Structure 1
């Protein structure tokens, strides 16, 4: 498969996983805890099954690293190219009845996000992008190109994590910018808001894993934005031991 075909595969699987998640929400569910105390539901496991089976059937030569498989002790060694899958990013939001959850399927090549699809099931939308080739948003009205914006003169719009809204580090960090608006939401949808030009900056000061960020980073970078580590502002990379990310910063076009 070429890049366009791989992206279409990821997007179709993100949609299929989203249907599983919405079906679980409609039928009711319980919330369990994994070994690291993060929440998990049957929606996570059902969505992941749809995605990993679809990827392995269509492109068996590309390894798949998926969140719930790793949590269960099944870990595939990544190669030069590998998929990173978060079947339900924003499980806490999902469990609390919010719509701020996403399905993330990203392809990494040589340590960098290359392409990705991010499903937003509650909004009936999917975001997709290939780095260097552009990004799009698809919903009931069709598929349309999206692009990160140049920040307006009146100040930047910031998206930040709902669960770190009261972090004093965030307030201290934002003091260096002219901020017009700050919105706190959950999940990878923050990246997508930057990618479609609705916001300019997303600083992440809390813990994340590579499967949380690979797909949305690909979408944002395909739309003209960038994602860098907070420590030295080098590009956020993948295939790290343990798959844990450092703190990072997401910018729209020329925002930083």
Structure 2
């Protein structure tokens, strides 16, 4: 099984588990979110350790083993991206299985159960649909970054509120949106798998200053992200610079 096949299989299985947990209806709210985070994390760790025993794993839901910093290959996972959405009954949540090799987002799979789909680096289309007349920017439903609103206004774009980071990134991958711009509060597990998938699909993925995304850092904070159509990258980055004065 290739790394991409493994990532897809694990994301699919974890997504199915999370759907079953929520569908059982025996818990709700924070209890449901905590259970989903915990159980999905255990499944993912078990599958990755069995298949790739020599690799390290950085998970949002596990204690960080800093020995990973010296490793070339580190799986970076978010067992339940969008815990709040999942716990509230929303469909805007995802499972992230990413693999960083030498600090770069090399392999990834993002399961979006609401779409009955797993987006993976070995099977995403690299031919996007034509750009719409009015650009579309996906932003957080609960806390849209000020910079994203400013860039949207500068580009005359429509703002589309959406839940989890994975759901927003995959909306750009499958052509439902054109730009995902985030500033503040993300960690490596929030965007490693989405960035890997986006890049495999031929999209631009970077920090919002245009610098490369680097993973497996000692501090996993990676607060800002731009995923967009490649032909829009310079316009978006210029609007970000203008907005920051």
Q: Point out where structure 1 has 5 or more consecutive residues left out of the alignment.
A: 34-38, 137-144
Q: Point out where structure 2 has 5 or more consecutive residues left out of the alignment.
A: 234-245
Mapped partners of 1:227, 1:57: distance in 2? 31
- Matched with 2:47 is 54
Mapped partners of 2:149, 2:180: distance in 1? 13
Pairing 1:1-256 to 2, within 5 Å after superposition: 5-27=2-24, 28-32=26-30, 40-70=33-63, 77-78=68-69, 79-130=71-122, 135-136=123-124, 145=125, 147-149=127-129, 151-152=131-132, 154-165=133-144, 167-179=145-157, 181-187=158-164, 188-230=166-208, 232-256=209-233
Contact in 2 for aligned 1:205/1:248 (Cα 8 Å): yes
The two structures, once aligned, show a CA RMSD in angstroms of 2.1
Number of aligned residue pairs: give it.
Answer: 230
How far did 1:76 drift?
Answer: 5.4
Give the secondary-structure state (helix, strand or coil) at the position aligned to 1:207.
coil
Using the size of structure 1 for normalisation, the TM-score is 0.82
Mapped partners of 1:75, 1:120: distance in 2? 30
| 1:73-92 CA-partner distances (Å, limit 9, x unpaired) | 66652411110010000001
Give the secondary-structure state (helix, strand or coil) at the position aligned to 2:68.
coil
How far did 1:237 drift?
Answer: 1.2
| 1:177-206 CA-partner distances (Å, limit 9, x unpaired) | 131x22111111111111122221111023
Mapped partners of 1:121, 1:51: distance in 2? 16
| 1:214-242 CA-partner distances (Å, limit 9, x unpaired) | 11101100001111112x21121112222
Higher percent of residues as strand: 1
Give the secondary-structure state (helix, strand or coil) at the position aligned to 2:205.
strand
Give the secondary-structure state (helix, strand or coil) at the position aligned to 2:121.
strand
Contact in 2 for aligned 1:162/1:185 (Cα 8 Å): yes
Mapped partners of 1:29, 1:75: distance in 2? 34
Give the secondary-structure state (helix, strand or coil) at the position aligned to 2:230.
coil
Mapped partners of 1:53, 1:189: distance in 2? 25
How far did 1:149 drift?
Answer: 4.5
Mapped partners of 2:199, 2:128: distance in 1? 9
